A and B are shown apart, each in its own frame.
Chain A
Amino acid sequence: DTGVSQDPRHKITKRGQNVTFRCDPISEHNRLYWYRQTLGQGPEFLTYFQNEAQLEKSRLLSDRFSAERPKGSFSTLEIQRTEQGDSAMYLCASSFDRGAHGYTFGSGTRLTVV
């Protein structure tokens, strides 16, 4: 297992377009998390899954954002009608059980909305 993979690494999109990111967690990890990181800031929690169930969503996750984790494996994060304020690094992480031993992060997807 090569760790948490995210695709694409970079995405440039025009305002108003929809974008979708993919995250492949470590196969043994049952929990998957999405975070957003803006320049010069620490990551902010967006949502998390335990297996295929989405158990918590941040208030940062507006109705333009949707995340799925079909079959409890990979996850997708979709942003509809992108806005310039959506420009950020989107990080995915996974953990086994409750993550008391820390999460494993992917390299992130950098989104630029022009």
Chain B
Amino acid sequence: AQTVTQSQPEMSVQEAETVTLSCTYDTSESDYYLFWYKQPPSRQMILVIRQEAYKQQNATENRFSVNFQKAAKSFSLKISDSQLGDAAMYFCAYRSPEWGAQKLVFGQGTRLTINP
């Protein structure tokens, strides 16, 4: 079974600085999807960024980018120019492409604090 590990329970960064959240996963599949979700105190999970494993190019969405290292099974999230609104729980998630295996497997989460 696939597993996702986020080894940083908490991280903090100064406003306007850059922070990187770590995620590793375990799978025997060669093609899959990876996601970062943000869960603010209001609780709704919001998709931040996605990566398809067959694409070598790292995904980027405005201030958010990933460092996808397939061989190392690593998928880190970099947040540039951190803003107070970035404060939230961040979850890394894995999804198999196989038919029938529809579920997302989540890591334990990293609580990100932005210091003004």
A residues adjacent to B (C-beta < 8 A): 31, 33, 35, 40-45, 48, 55-56, 58, 89, 91, 93, 98-108
Q: Do A55 and B91 form a contact, CB below 8 Å, given A102-B47, A105-B45? A: no
Chain B, interface residues (CB within 8 Å), range: 20 to 34
Assess the A55–B44 pair: CB atoms within 8 A.
Answer: no
Chain A residues with CB below 8 A from B95, complex form: 99-100
Q: Most chain-A CB neighbours within 10 Å: which of B47, B52, B97?
A: B47
From A107, which residue of chain B is reached at the shortest CB distance? B44
Look across to chain B and name the residue whose beta carbon is closest to the beta carbon of A4: B44
Given contacts A43-B91, A104-B47, 18 further A-B contacts (CB under 8 A): A31-B102, A33-B102, A33-B104, A40-B108, A42-B108, A43-B45, A56-B102, A89-B43, A91-B45, A93-B45, A98-B102, A99-B104, A100-B33, A100-B95, A102-B35, A103-B47, A105-B37, A105-B45
Give every chain B residue within 8 A of A58 (Cβ-Cβ).
103
Cβ proximity bits B75-116 to A, threshold 8 Å, 1 near / 0 not: 000000000000000010101010111111111110000000
- Residue of B97, B104, B107 with most chain A CB atoms under a 10 A cut-off: B104
In this assembly, does B56 line the interface, its C-beta being within 8 Å of a C-beta of chain A?
no
Cα–Cα, bound, A111→B37 (Å):
22
What are 30 sample pairs from A and B whose C-beta atoms fall under 8 A apart? Answer: A31-B102, A33-B104, A35-B104, A40-B109, A41-B109, A42-B91, A42-B108, A43-B45, A45-B103, A45-B104, A45-B105, A48-B102, A55-B102, A56-B101, A56-B102, A56-B103, A58-B103, A89-B43, A98-B97, A98-B99, A99-B104, A100-B33, A100-B52, A100-B97, A101-B50, A104-B47, A105-B37, A105-B45, A105-B46, A107-B44
